[in-house]
A and B are shown apart, each in its own frame.
Chain A
Amino acid sequence: MTFLAFFFILSSLLSFVCAQLVLKRAMENTQKSGFRNLRFISRVAGGIALMTISFFLTLGLLQRFDLSYLYPFQGLSVIIISLMAAVMLKEKLTLQLTIGALLISAGIVLVSLS
């Protein structure tokens, strides 16, 4: 049961992170090429699909665990998304932003542990 819970928590986290990256990519391109093209539509559709998967997985987890137990894992998404955005979207990740993201994550974990 614990392995299953871990698996579902990880899946919902990863699908959420991927969704954010795909959506950011999609919206960035609208500044150049607008909304009416296949690339934008397929990216937004992919992002929404990933968000939906993550949403229902979270809903399933919420039926079994307290919000306070699940929240620390959501806190991790700040670090993961900052890193992935820097690597995959070539966004500038300064030391200050990294420390800020780490503090936010640590704070979220502390809030939900207490």
Chain B
Amino acid sequence: MFVFASSQRWRTVRDVSTPLDMTNQPKRNRPSGFWNPWLQLTLSVLCVLLSEFLLKRGANDIADPSNAWSWTGINGLASPLVWMGIAFVIASFLSWLYVLKYIPLTIAFPLSRVVDILVPLGCWIFLGEFISTRRWCGIALVVIGLALVAKPVARIEERL
């Protein structure tokens, strides 16, 4: 994913300037720099990662399974951690919308699930948690799957 972010060329059918895009770049080029769709995909994944941790912590804090309304999750709004999680969800949502404009869902969505292995890897690296053999196998499968999904993209980017 990070490899794609460095590639500058991406063909779009029409002028890609948006109201957000203030730079004077040539038309028919994919936006580069901060507005590169692959960079936005990366940012979106990082925001999701942060929000997952915040929401789980928040949900734990105010867990009240005896209350029937808690099935809807609405009582979660009592936790400030949940609100911080929501802020990151919104940020990831905005960059995700931008990603959807340029990248097909069949490619973007599988790639966005890299977050599912970043969570256990984050726990391993930063929290020193143990990762079992089975979990390592799962992580390996996801990485192979990601490579398969990403490979055609790399080819498209080369050709253009």
B14 at the interface (CB under 8 A from A): yes
**Which chain A residues numbered 63 to 97 have a C-beta less than 8 Å away from chain B?**
63-64, 67, 71, 74-75, 77-78, 81-82, 85-86, 89, 91-94, 96-97
Residues on A with C-beta less than 8 A from B101 are 27-28, 30-31
B residues 88-108 near A (Cβ < 8 Å) are 89, 93, 96-98, 100-101, 104-107
Give the docked Cα–Cα distance between A104 and B144 (Å): 8
In the bound complex, CA of A29 to CA of B109 (Å): 19
A-B contacts, CB under 8 A, total? 172
The interface size of chain B toward A, counting residues with CB under 8 Å, comes to 57
Closest to A71 in B: B116
| Inter-subunit contact B139/A55 (CB<8 Å) | no
Are B145 and A85 interface neighbours, CB within 8 A? Answer: no
CB within 8 Å for A104 and B145 given contacts A31-B101, A110-B137: yes
Are A96 and B70 neighbours in the complex by a CB distance under 8 Å?
no
Q: Does B134 contact A (CB under 8 A)?
A: yes
> Which 6 A/B pairs are nearest by Cβ-Cβ distance?
A110-B138, A59-B73, A103-B145, A107-B141, A100-B148, A107-B142
Binding site for A on B (CB under 8 A): 12-14, 16, 18-19, 52, 55-56, 59, 62-65, 70-74, 76, 82, 89, 93, 96-98, 100-101, 104-107, 109-110, 113, 116-117, 120, 132-135, 137-149, 151-152
Q: Could you give 30 example pairs across A and B, Cβ below 8 Å?
A: A24-B105, A31-B13, A35-B19, A44-B97, A55-B73, A55-B89, A57-B73, A60-B71, A60-B73, A62-B73, A75-B113, A77-B109, A81-B109, A82-B105, A97-B107, A99-B148, A100-B148, A101-B110, A101-B145, A104-B141, A107-B117, A107-B138, A107-B139, A107-B140, A107-B145, A108-B117, A110-B138, A111-B120, A111-B139, A112-B116
